[in-house]
Every structure is written in C-alpha cells, then in structure tokens.
Amino acid sequence: MVPKPEEVNLLTGESATQQIEAEKKPTSALDEPVSHWRPRLTLNVMVDDFIFDGSSLPADVHRYMKMIQLGKTVHYLPILFIDQLSNRVKDLMVINRSTTELPLTVSYDKISLGRLRFWIHMQDAVFSLQQFGFSEKDADEVKGIFVDTNLYFLALTFFVAAFHLLFDFLAFKNDISFWKKKKTMIGMSTKLWKVKKALKMTVVWRGLRPQFQFGTYSESERKTEEYDTQAMRYLSYLLYPLCVGGAVYSLLNVKYKSWYSWLINSFVNGVYAFGFLFMLPQLFVNYKMKSVAHLPWKAFTYKAFNTFIDDVFAFIITMPTSHRLACFRDDVVFLVYLYQRWLYPVDKSRVNEFGESYEEKPPRKPRAD
C-alpha cells in the first residue's frame, strides 16, 4: 500500500538525513506502494462439538472445514479461523532497506460455534464494503467498531441508537400535531416561528398580503438580552486568547503533515471552542436573574436524552481527540443547568430558547347577562 505521509514539526522541518533521502527518490516514487508488515496474527480454534446434517451444512462453516478419511470413516479436523478483522491499517509497519527485525505477535484462543459464525459474517460484510465504493480506510474504521469495542457494549449502543430514532420520530410527530392545532401553514418552518417570537413579530393577513407588526420588549426580556450580551463579551475575552494560544502551542509541539493540516486543525478547534461559548450565556443569565425559564417535561426529557446519546458513540467510533472531547460539552452545560434548576425557582414569565413564555394568563371575569 502507499505509505502515509510522515508528520513533521512545521517550524523545524525535516532533518538533513531525511532531506537527502527525499532528494534521492524520484517524485513518482512517493506515490508508489511499498511492502508493509502485519505485526499481529490471531488464530482461533473452535472447540464446540456440533452435529449437522451433511446435506444441510451451513456454507459459512463448510468452507472452513477440512475432511480426512480414516478407513471407512470420514473425520473433520478442528476448525481453524484466522481473524482478519483484528488486522488494522493503522498497525501496519513499513518495510524499508534498513529494517533488520520485525515484531510478530501470535495470539491463540478458542472460539464457540456461534461466535465463529458471527465473526465470519462480520468479516465478509466488512470486506464487501470495498466492492460498494468504500475506501480501505473507511472499511478499516468500520472494522475497528467491531474489533476495538466490547460486543455487549456494542449491542447496547445499537439498542440506544434504535431508541433514539424512535424518540426523534415521536418528537417529530408531536411537532406535526402541534402545528395542526395552531392551524399554521404547511410551508411555515419552526425557525420562522422562533424568529417571530424573538423579534416580537406577528403576521396579520390582509387577504393575500401579509402585514408585519412588531411589539416591544418587556423589562424581563430586556434584562435577559442585556445579560446575554454581557456573557458573550466576557467569554470572548477568555476564548480568543485560548484559541490563539492553542494554535501556537500545537505549531510548536505537535507534528503535522503540512501547513494546511495545521490550519484546518486550528480552525476546527476554534469551532469547538465557540460552540461551547454559545452554550454558556444561558447559564450566566440564570445566575444573574436567579431563576430558570420553564421547560415542559417532554422537552426536558428530550434534551436530557440527546445530551448523553453522543457520549455513547464517542467511545466506539474512531475520531480525533478534540472531537471526542467536544462531545462532552453538552454534558458539562447540562449538569450545571440541573444544579441551577435545583437552586433557583422556575420563572414561567421568562421566555425560553424557543421564544415561548408559559406565564399563566389571568382568568377572565364572568360576563354578566
């Protein structure tokens, strides 16, 4: 395979020896595949005794069976399964002219019939991905999900993902029924609804011509807007130096393939930092107003489930460390919000993030006949 480009310190660059070796090689040789060594070999022998009808032997097991005939009796040898899923691309070692020794670890273990058939199907499924256009790197990432993750934890993850899809479907269904009750237009989106609430805007239809009317902010809404702006200003004083300092630190101490790689990595870390920044003003507003906005239990449960669902996938999917840490931003904010919800009273007159206020309207006086 074609070797991955070597990561170097962008400021110091390559050593003199590396530059000399690079000058000796032709330009076309940099894209040519070279030999790699697999440092790991995993062997599994099935130890279960099983009985199958000779005419209905499963094809997945049959191809791994070797028969011998002793007299009039046919025997099969112990089934040997060479685990190809455990061979990851990231573990391959380049073989060059200076290589004199290479490590090799041989692992031997027993395997049951059910586990054998499961790994055979998983191995065939991963290898067939490349026939559908997946690159070797993409197939290797899928392979890592099954190899580097405990099967029980993986099964739990699939169950949580299925439950999450069901939860999203029910939430979407409730939103549709809500819009039907409000008798809104089919083409009106949720974001337009949020803009109308945030800008105190109402739409009055004069025949086919809409007329927009803007209201005024109440004292509570004005304070909320003021505290929100104040929180963003204070947090920007902290995050701007951190983003710049992190980019400089990574340039000095971390190796990259190119300047473009360092630039993209710095921008991504900045996006993660500012994403965390935009989550914090609500906590600051709650602290200043000594209250929390009312949140219905359905919305609260949905937020809590969505907050922790990403943590499960962060442990089984291969991803950069910065992105993995970014998955826990919601957890920190949500835990602080729970503490504020316990500490401060719920103010139904406050407008929440959806532009809604749940302040109870005063009852109407009975009309005299």
Q: Are residues 228 and 333 in the same domain?
A: yes
SS3 for the chain is CCCCCCCECCCCCCCHHHHHHHHHCCHHHHHCCCCEECCEEEEEEECCCCCCCHHHCCHHHHCCCCEEEECCEEEECCCEEECCCCCCHHHCEECCCCCCCCCCEEEEEEECHHHHHHHHHHHHHHHHHHHHCCCHHHHHHHHHHHHCCCHHHHHHHHHHHHHHHHHHHHHHHHHHHHHHHHCCCCCCCHHHHHHHHHCCEEEEEECCEEEEEECCCCHHHHHHHHHHHHHHHHHHHHHHHHHHHHHHHHHHHCCECCHHHHHHHHHHHHHHHHHHHCCCHHHHHHHHHCCEECCCHHHHHHHHHHHHHHHHHHHHCCCCHHHHHHCCHHHHHHHHHHHHHHHCCEECCCCCCCCCCCCCCCCCCCCCC
Within a domain: 113:
yes
309, 164 Cβ separation under 8 angstroms: yes
Distances (CA, A) of 55 to 49, 51, 118, 121, 225: 18, 12, 22, 21, 76
Residue 67 included in any domain: yes
φ, ψ of residue 313 in degrees (nearest 5): -75, -25
92: containing domain: 36-148
pLDDT of residue 143: 83
**Domain co-membership, 179 together with 140:** no
Do strands 73-76 and 67-70 pair parallel, antiparallel, or not at all (unpaired)? antiparallel
Residues 324 and 179 in one domain: yes
Q: Residue 44 has what pLDDT?
A: 92
Write the single-letter amino acid at 218: S
**β-strands 80-82, 292-293: how paired?**
unpaired
Residue 37's DSSP bridge partners are: 93
Residue 357 lies in a domain: no
Q: Which residue, among 277, 279, 294, has the nearest Cα to 220 in the 3D structure?
A: 294
Question: Is residue 6 domain-resident?
Answer: no
Are 140 and 179 contained in the same domain? no
| pLDDT value of residue 13 | 67
CA atoms within 13 A on the CB side of 369: 0
In one-letter notation, the amino acid at residue 175 is D
My answer on whether 143 and 257 are in the same domain is no
Would you state the torsion angle of the CA atoms of residues 147, 153, 155, 158, taken in this order, to the nearest 10 degrees? Answer: -100
Q: Provide the greatest CA pair distance for the chain.
A: 110
Q: Is residue 259 part of a domain?
A: yes
The verdict on 115 and 178 lying in the same domain is: no
141 with 55, same domain: the answer is yes
Res 206: pLDDT: 66
Residue 8 lies in a domain: no
Q: How far apart are CA 229 and CA 282, in angstroms?
A: 11
Specify the number of domains making up the chain. Answer: 2
* Pair 202, 196: CB distance under 8 Å: yes
Residue 158 in any domain: the answer is no
The per-residue pLDDT string of the chain (369 residues; one tens digit each, 9 = 90 and over) reads: 887 777 777 777 654 345 445 544 554 555 788 889 999 999 999 888 877 776 777 888 888 888 888 888 888 888 899 988 888 888 888 888 888 899 999 999 999 888 888 888 888 888 888 788 888 778 888 888 777 777 777 777 777 777 777 766 766 665 544 444 444 433 344 444 645 555 556 666 666 667 665 666 667 677 777 888 888 888 888 888 888 888 888 888 888 888 888 888 888 888 888 888 888 888 888 888 888 887 777 777 777 777 777 777 777 777 777 888 888 888 888 889 889 888 988 877 776 665 565 554 444 455 555
Let me know if residue 61 belongs to a domain: yes
339 burial class (0-12, 13-18, 19+ CB within 10 angstroms)? exposed
Tokens of 271: 């996006």
Same domain, 47 and 109: yes
Q: Can you give the pLDDT at residue 357?
A: 58
Residues 220 and 337 in one domain: yes
Q: Based on the domain organization, do 319 and 263 belong to the same domain?
A: yes
Sign (positive or negative) of CA dihedral 184, 188, 191, 192: negative
Does 116 share its domain with 178? no
Looking at the fold, whether 85 and 132 belong to one and the same domain comes out as yes
